[in-house]
Structure 1
Amino acid sequence: MSVHPFIYSFFSLPSLKMPNTSGRQKHGRRARRRRRVDPARDELVSSSLESAQQCLFSQDYGTAFVHYLLVLNLAPVFKEFARDSFRFTLFKWAEELDSLGRIQDLFDCYEQALEVFPADEVILNSMGEHLFRMGFRDEAAGHFHKALKLRPDYLEARENFYRVANWLVERWHFLMLNDHGRNRKYQQAIQKAVRKGCNSVLDIGTGTGILGMCAKKAGAAEVYACELSKTMYELACEVVAANGMDGSIKIIHKKSLEMEVPKDIPHRVSLVVTETVDAGLFGEGIIESLIHAWHNLLLPPKRDQGDSGDESTTGRVIPAGATVFGMAVECLEIRRHHRLCVTEVGGLSIAEAGELHSTVSCNSEPDDSIEPYTTERLSRLPGGYKCLTEPFTTLSIDFNNVQELEGLSSREVQEIRLPVTQEGELDALAVWFQLHLDEENSLSTGPQEDTCWEQAIYPVHIPKRFELKPRDELIVEISCRDAFLRLSCVAVLRDGQTIHLEKRMGSPPPGDLTPNPNPEVELCSALAGLQTNHSQAEALCMLESSEMALLNNRDYHQSFSSALTKLISQLKTKHQNHERGSAFHSDPAVSSPASSLLYVLDVSEGFSLLSLMAAKQGHVKAYSSVEKTKQQEVLRRLACSNGISEQHLEFWLNHIEDERGMLKRPSREKLWSAIILDCVETCGLIRQKLMEKASLARCLLEEGGHIFPQKIVVYGMLVESYTLLLESAVQGQEPTLGFNIAPFINQFTVPVHVFLDFSTLECRHLSKAAELFVLDLMDTNANYTNRDVKVQVMSAGRLTAVPFWYHIYLDQEISVSTLSQNSHWKQAAVVLPKPIEVQAGDWVRLAVKLHKSTISIAAHVENPPTQMD
């Protein structure tokens, strides 16, 4: 998991303490055998300790770390004295190793440190942070959990654990366990299979262990389960033991593809149960898993589907198969997240940006950074969606036919024609499926179903707006390359002509009509294609969907443009007055053009146009934090097309080298006129270490300079939302299908729910919006860490959560809201541990706390009503 280099300059470290080497060793009452004096050993310890301190002061952290290890291994008596300085050395050396890409060395150092201090919660937490950044989420969770066990009040570890819990035990686990219809149907299908003779069962991707326990409860003689995630494996072991089945269900911490007979299970099984399906059906690798299972873990299938013989001698799979459906849709929310919808933002023309679209695409060459589809819950998309075609069948698959599974990836590309039923702009294909558990039980993930699944979205990347019309026919290609379902809208048939939508080698550009009745026009078009295809390919740049949504946000950029214009105009006037007053100065550098430049630093995460908007003001040199080469090329093209000199745009991360992202002055004489900080994560949380960044940025501003934004005001509202409860924890007092699961998985309940869209959240508003907290980035004295807010209840109900959002003030007058309709930000909500019954007129006291970047809220009803603060 990559992290912006800027973060490293704000790495949280304890204060430096040198060990008190003159301290006298303390002894307990009981007499101890004194160790034999070894002068050579003592001399080595003393000289190594001195060398460690000298290296530390000279910032030679690697050598200092080696000396400290030697001292602490030879003389453990120094552990408590040297603990803080050893931590500091470890963290600084790890930072250097990270910057050099020496990841294995980094983790080796942490392992060595934990051999010396196995119960050090700070080292455990720090190693967990590195593991999480590198994508090792399971291992990171284990370190955060150990740190919390050692020190339950360790807020940094708790905040990290909450963040990683959102990755490891995703919210759909709670939704799935709360989906009583889904659970009952799986249970019924398993019961029927076991009654028919499937006595040995393997649960692939067991999760909490629920399907394996269903098989055991149904009477299966042997039940095995496998789980790749270490976190979920340990959770399943706890759940199975709590339900008295730990001796009868064998859980294996392994990917099913690595399992063998008899190494992992004694013989082939007669039934495999699994739910390793995502919104696009095949995204979790079910095809590969089942092919391997049929060849290595399952008994052979029935020879004849009509055969009613003993099922204990044949193999089968639950689910038995699936049918996939699709539909073309118009949806502004999808459009603005996946392709460019604007030609001008913040005073910048972006016509020369080249082709920009999201990293979700079926039409590019295979690339780890590209996904064939994304997922959305269509029923909750802001602004809704319009169906442009009737639903159509994409494919059907029989999971009990190994030949069909093996032939999936090599299936010929299927082309289907869909009659267009409504006029509208083509934005995406939405896909869902019906999962056939057996002949009687099935589950649908359709957009109208109340299900724990979302739908798969295949966005259409058409450079220009394209409207479908009734009587058009949309041509869709369907393939299963790499066992992923891939759908592409390739063309439209209209009045006997073909309008090509997708770029292809040797085909006309998107939007062209063929056959062309004018051969001369066709020839000119072909020649133009020869000249431009190569440059168009080079101009293609892909952004994250949140970056695309930001780029399409006119209001956001207009607000920044206005605020930058005001500030730079004020500073220009101030500089001109200063220069006029210093005209008699003989130093030519004072009156040179370079001395009148204003310096603006944009440290936004990801792709940002703000540096260009600053540079366009004139007499400004802007420094951009954009790192990716393709994205830098886009900014250079835009600078050129908008009349911005190359000398006025700099990519500061290209030149940081060993400084590793530290905020630096542009020169010895100059300070920054403005520093633009990225304050809010797309998910709806305050960015980590924001206030530390703001504190450093304030020190680097020239007189009259500003941090953007200046202030952030947090707003919230009291709501009743059963949906948030379902997505946050297993609900109810009744066991799930009779199994005790809730207490174990609910350990991973996190108090803050992220990536919400408040405008479509199913909830009842119990109060008006209220100001909860203020973060002043320009005035550190105005800040606080906690605040009590009294909110009056307007409607009776059960208070379950407090959604919150931000008004981001760029200056005293100009602000942007993360709640606005076209915002690229989502919202977050604090879900209360227990719902609170409230009546209209009640006052609810909210105790709001901000620690680092985590907002926590405790609620208490106050009666009788008291005067508001």
Structure 2
Amino acid sequence: MEPNSFDAEAVFQRAMTAYQAGQLVEAEQLLRIILVEIPTHDGIMTTLGGVLLASGQIATSIELLQEAIQLNAANPDAYLNLGIAFQQSGNTPQAIAAIQQASQLAPQRPDIAYNLANVLLETQQFTEAIQVLHAIIEQQPDFLQAYDTLGAVYHYLQKTDIAQQTYEQALLIEPNDLKLLTTLGNLLADTGQTAAATTMFQRTIEAHPDHFLGYALMGKFYLDLGKNNEGLATLEKAYSLHPGDLNVNILLGNANNELGRTDQAEQFYRQALDISPDDPGALSNFRRLMSSKIPYWHFEMLADSERNNAYQAAIEKAVTPATRVLDIGTGSGLLSMMAARAGAERIVACEMNERLAATADEIIALNGYDQQIDLFSKKSTQLKVGKEVKEKVDLIISEILDVGAFGEGVLPSIRHAVQNLAKPEVKLIPAGLQLFGQLIEIPFRSRIAPVKEIAGFDLSPFEQFRISDEYFRIILKAENYQVLSPVIPLMKVDFYKLPPAYPDDRPMETFHEFSIEHNGSLQALVFWFDLQLDDDIIVSSRPEGELEHWGQALFCFPQHPEVKKGDKVRVKMLQSDMMIRFRLMV
């Protein structure tokens, strides 16, 4: 500090103590006092800029940091904070330029380079970010954050082998780091390395016996493997260590539900909702449990002759005597047997539902195809080449589509199978799909979406039994409804060029504009899909389409604005790997 008539150093230390304690207003006031006495001190300006940034005063922070740089163009912290401020204001190019300048001024500082890598990642400049992260590790091999981010980038880019090596390298430096242990455990589990994942989760528990996270992840892993009793016991240990964790309560609800303990499952789902009332996972699981729907669609699917004929035609075109096939979600085994009858050399079928898998096994043997078809009661993501899948496959068949297309996991399942279980020239049935939608007025359905007043009584507590903010299946031609808009395309998906994975809490957002053709109350959006089995065969779940058993998906809006002919209505579509939702932009 520069000498002054008052003790600037003491005031600065008080400001830093307040800043570290989260007392941003006090920290700002103290730093401004110093600036009154020392108005040209670029270091104090830089620190104050960081405090303003932390308190959300981005524009003021930018002005002050630019002033600090004018006073001292060799101040790397001023450039770093300015870059972070630009980043938070959404000005990514200027953020990158500022942090790059900071890095040039202080090339020995890994914290600056790490911030640069993160900004580059925001703009999907993966190659540049990877280079920066590698440089950080080379310069400072014990900088664990760089390993963690680098591993995450490689995982996102689906270079899981390199991601695994990165995490393993970091664990050589810090063998008991909780985040590294759990991240690597999850990666091993996701890539089907069951034994290695088990070992890693056990290692986590041994290193942190009093921390709930290792037990929680091990419990979830057991559930994913279908080991519900082991999963339940391990999750109960996690619960004893941290009963207030949202995910532990949801997982315990799932485990109890799988074991038929519906009362206990309800209890844990309710506790999860007490912790986070708006959590979509807890809400969805709780309402699914309460609704207790019977999956009758299995029988309707088998009865859908148009669907069966279309799949058979596509399979017969694709199969040769040398074809090796993967059937994802075989259900009754029907599609696998079609491939076997068409002459495929070998079929690997998988079905995660143990009871359904056992029945499919019986059906396959009954029809004489048990020597051609290997059936496993597993998720396709748990299959491994050289084990269940002897050789990589030439053809992937699937029909893991719900009424809204994505709800049964078709996107992540195909993405994983293509990358891990198939030859580069693999054929896919289906090859893609396209969604179409239409705005409608549908009074009967909208009266209970949400449940409010019925016959003059407030029945809103009954809303807990309804699965809200999700679409549901209807047969549109059997409904009393009024068309409000034309049918428009919503999205097209090529299974050969799948989009990146979007999680439920960070969905992809797209906007669609509907032209209103009839006056009415805008109550719902109905949508369906055209399923492209191959280049020539397309079947549709539209109201007059071939796929009769699917029906259509109806998404009811909570508010019902009146619209008139000639109006334009914008709708935001939220799409993740497993879910589609809509929001009216009015």
Fold shared per TM-score above 0.5:
yes
Aligned-pair CA distance for 1:60: 6.6
| Deviation readout 1:731-756 (Å, 9 max, x if unpaired) | 349851xxx542x3335551224232
Aligned-pair CA distance for 1:795: 0.6
Given the alignment, which residue of 232, 236, 241 partners 1:116? 241
Residue 759 (1) aligns with residue 477 (2) = yes
Q: How does 1:349-364 map to 2 (within 5 A)?
A: none
Letter in 2 for 1:745: F
CA–CA distance in 2 between the matches of 1:668 and 1:831?
A: 43
| Number of residue pairs matched by the alignment | 399
Q: 1:814 to 1:123 in 2, by over 3 A?
A: same
Q: 1:47 to 1:618 in 2, by over 3 A?
A: closer
Letter in 1 for 2:509: N
Quick check: 1:159–1:854 contact (8 Å CA) kept in 2?
A: no
User: Which position in structure 1 is the counterpart of 2:334?
Assistant: 609
Quick check: 1:129–1:160 contact (8 Å CA) kept in 2?
A: no
Aligned-pair CA distance for 1:817: 1.8
Q: How does 1:114-263 map to 2 (within 5 A)?
A: 114-151=239-276, 157-168=279-290
Q: 1:782 to 1:629 in 2, by over 3 A?
A: closer
User: Which position in structure 2 is the counterpart of 1:463?
Assistant: none
Q: 1:704 to 1:615 in 2, by over 3 A?
A: same
Letter in 1 for 2:255: H
Q: 1:854 to 1:613 in 2, by over 3 A?
A: same
Aligned-pair CA distance for 1:760: 0.7
| Deviation readout 1:421-457 (Å, 9 max, x if unpaired) | xxxxxxxxxxxxxxxxxxxxxxxxxxxxxxxxxxxxx
Structure with more contact order per residue of length (Cα contacts < 8 Å, sep ≥ 6): 1
Q: How does 1:693-708 map to 2 (within 5 A)?
A: 693-699=413-419, 700-708=421-429
CA–CA distance in 2 between the matches of 1:650 and 1:112?
A: 41
Aligned-pair CA distance for 1:128: 2.7
CA–CA distance in 2 between the matches of 1:48 and 1:787?
A: 39
Q: How does 1:764-803 map to 2 (within 5 A)?
A: 764-781=482-499, 785-803=508-526
Q: 1:662 to 1:546 in 2, by over 3 A?
A: same
User: Which position in structure 1 is the counterpart of 2:318?
Assistant: 567
Quick check: 1:725–1:731 contact (8 Å CA) kept in 2?
A: no
Q: 1:665 to 1:672 in 2, by over 3 A?
A: farther
Aligned-pair CA distance for 1:127: 2.5
CA–CA distance in 1 between the matches of 2:286 and 2:501?
A: 28
User: Which position in structure 1 is the counterpart of 2:149?
Assistant: none
Q: TM-score when scaled to structure 1?
A: 0.40
Residue 858 (1) aligns with residue 578 (2) = no
| Deviation readout 1:540-568 (Å, 9 max, x if unpaired) | xxxx8533332332221222222223333
CA–CA distance in 1 between the matches of 2:389 and 2:291?
A: 50
Aligned-pair CA distance for 1:108: 2.2
| Deviation readout 1:374-401 (Å, 9 max, x if unpaired) | 9xxxxxxxxxxxxxxxxxxxxxxxxxxx
CA–CA distance in 1 between the matches of 2:257 and 2:548?
A: 28
Quick check: 2:441–2:521 contact (8 Å CA) kept in 1?
A: yes
User: Which position in structure 2 is the counterpart of 1:623?
Assistant: 348
* Structure ranking higher in strand proportion: 1
CA–CA distance in 2 between the matches of 1:667 and 1:731?
A: 52
Letter in 2 for 1:707: L
Q: 1:829 to 1:17 in 2, by over 3 A?
A: farther
Residue 89 (1) aligns with residue 210 (2) = no
Aligned-pair CA distance for 1:107: 1.7
Given the alignment, which residue of 298, 322, 331 partners 1:547? 298
Paired residue secondary structure (2:477): coil
Letter in 2 for 1:860: M
User: Which position in structure 2 is the counterpart of 1:576?
Assistant: none
User: Which position in structure 1 is the counterpart of 2:448?
Assistant: 727
Quick check: 1:694–1:778 contact (8 Å CA) kept in 2?
A: no
| Deviation readout 1:247-275 (Å, 9 max, x if unpaired) | xxxxxxxxxxxxxxxxxxxxxxxxxxxxx
User: Which position in structure 1 is the counterpart of 2:432?
Assistant: 711
Quick check: 1:48–1:70 contact (8 Å CA) kept in 2?
A: no
Runs (5+) with no aligned partner, structure 1: 1-13, 24-45, 172-373, 375-543, 573-595, 640-644, 862-869
* Structure ranking higher in helix proportion: 2
CA–CA distance in 1 between the matches of 2:177 and 2:484?
A: 65
Paired residue secondary structure (1:778): helix
User: Which position in structure 1 is the counterpart of 2:98?
Assistant: none
Paired residue secondary structure (2:476): coil
CA–CA distance in 1 between the matches of 2:553 and 2:493?
A: 17
Paired residue secondary structure (1:794): coil
Q: 1:767 to 1:695 in 2, by over 3 A?
A: same
Q: 1:799 to 1:673 in 2, by over 3 A?
A: same
Aligned-pair CA distance for 1:69: 5.2
Quick check: 2:324–2:346 contact (8 Å CA) kept in 1?
A: yes
Quick check: 2:273–2:282 contact (8 Å CA) kept in 1?
A: no
CA–CA distance in 1 between the matches of 2:261 and 2:576?
A: 25
Q: 1:690 to 1:85 in 2, by over 3 A?
A: farther
Q: How does 1:427-446 map to 2 (within 5 A)?
A: none
Aligned-pair CA distance for 1:609: 1.8
Quick check: 2:516–2:569 contact (8 Å CA) kept in 1?
A: yes
Aligned-pair CA distance for 1:702: 1.8
User: Which position in structure 1 is the counterpart of 2:412?
Assistant: 692
CA–CA distance in 2 between the matches of 1:146 and 1:852?
A: 27
Aligned-pair CA distance for 1:620: 3.1
Aligned-pair CA distance for 1:800: 0.6
Quick check: 1:137–1:164 contact (8 Å CA) kept in 2?
A: no
Aligned-pair CA distance for 1:834: 0.6
User: Which position in structure 2 is the counterpart of 1:809?
Assistant: 532
User: Which position in structure 2 is the counterpart of 1:269?
Assistant: none
Quick check: 2:176–2:204 contact (8 Å CA) kept in 1?
A: no
User: Which position in structure 2 is the counterpart of 1:833?
Assistant: 558
CA–CA distance in 1 between the matches of 2:314 and 2:284?
A: 36
CA–CA distance in 1 between the matches of 2:177 and 2:582?
A: 49
CA–CA distance in 2 between the matches of 1:131 and 1:167?
A: 11
Runs (5+) with no aligned partner, structure 2: 1-162, 189-193, 503-507
Q: Which one has the largest radius of gyration?
A: 1
Aligned-pair CA distance for 1:851: 2.4
Aligned-pair CA distance for 1:150: 3.8
Q: 1:753 to 1:92 in 2, by over 3 A?
A: closer
CA–CA distance in 2 between the matches of 1:741 and 1:126?
A: 30
CA–CA distance in 2 between the matches of 1:827 and 1:137?
A: 30
Letter in 1 for 2:526: P
CA–CA distance in 2 between the matches of 1:94 and 1:634?
A: 27
Aligned-pair CA distance for 1:848: 0.5
Quick check: 1:720–1:766 contact (8 Å CA) kept in 2?
A: yes
